[in-house]
Amino acid sequence: MRTSIIPSQSKLLIITRILNYIEHGSGYQHFLANSDEKEAKAREQLDILMKLADARLDSFEGELIAMFLDNGSAAKRSVPGKRALRFERSVRVDTSSEGSPGVEQAVDAFFGMGDTGAKGALEGFKSVVKTGLKQILGDTSAGESYDKKFFVCIKHNAIIRVDMYTYRYNFSNEGVIASHKNVLAYILCTSVVDHNDLTVDEMVYLASEFAGDARTEYEAYLNGLIEVWRNLRAHEVTVKAALPNIVPLAITA
């Protein structure tokens, strides 16, 4: 049977470590304590960054509200929507540059799965949104970046405006939150545009984009829309005429 002989200096080192263990506690406990502290700091910083992302979304949402409240001023810069018809706001952690099944499904659900238009215009716009998300996620530089865009199209025989705002914060490889990749926040908002606010050229462009560039295609579609608007306007006039004239009561002191 072979016996291991430990040199005196090694024995002294072992004894010193044992005494240190007894006096200061387990090194493993210290490791756990440090790990808990780092984890707490990581959660705190992640919470702060998610609140920052929320604040960025608040700012963009404020811009949308301003557009809805002051359509006249907004119309001088772009084609404005009247009010939010569909709205989605989300903050996510650790979304990859390939996109996330949750994000892709959210975009599909927001726009609807059905293809509309002779050339699948809706699918094209959904692709624009998904590509925009992938581009901002593909930027690996640390820090924050954002992307803001809108587009106008025809869906369900109405002219709609889709506003998209994307905010991304990439974490650096060093630091207490290195275990996370990023924070992604986005807003998608659909609003209906009053067709009376569009010029003839804008209407032709949108109808051609939706129905096709051939004259027989976009003319037929435009004529159908005009007929719908004419009928709705006539119905609106009829309803107003049928309402009794109500004279407000005079309030005397």
Q: Mind listing the pLDDT tens digit for each residue in 215-241?
A: 888 888 888 888 888 888 887 656 555
Give the residue-averaged pLDDT of 102-117: 63
Domain boundaries, the chain: 34-194, 201-231
pTM of the model: 0.68
Phi, then psi, of 108 in degrees rounded to 5: -60, -45
Is the pLDDT at 248 greater than 50, yes or no?
no
Q: What percent of the chain has pLDDT over 70?
A: 59
Distance CA 239, CA 233 (A): 10
pLDDT band at 9 (very low <50, low <70, confident <90, very high): low
pLDDT band at 154 (very low <50, low <70, confident <90, very high): confident
The DSSP annotation for 18-73 comes to HHHHHHH--HHHHHHHHHHHHHHHHHHHHHHHHHHHHHHHHHHHHHHHHHHH-HHH
* Helix (H) or strand (E) run with residue 87 in it: strand 84-93
Structure confidence by residue, pLDDT tens digits, 66-85: 999 998 899 889 999 999 99
Q: What is the pLDDT of residue 231?
A: 86
Give the residue-averaged pLDDT of 141-159: 84
Give the residue-averaged pLDDT of 122-133: 68
C-alpha distances (whole Å) from 4 to each of 1, 14, 16, 36, 253 are: 10, 15, 20, 39, 110
Q: What is the pLDDT of residue 24?
A: 47
Is the pLDDT at 5 greater than 50, yes or no?
no
> Which residue's structure tokens are 């780092």?
38
pLDDT band at 245 (very low <50, low <70, confident <90, very high): low
Q: pLDDT: is 63 or 232 the higher one?
A: 63
Give the residue-averaged pLDDT of 130-153: 77
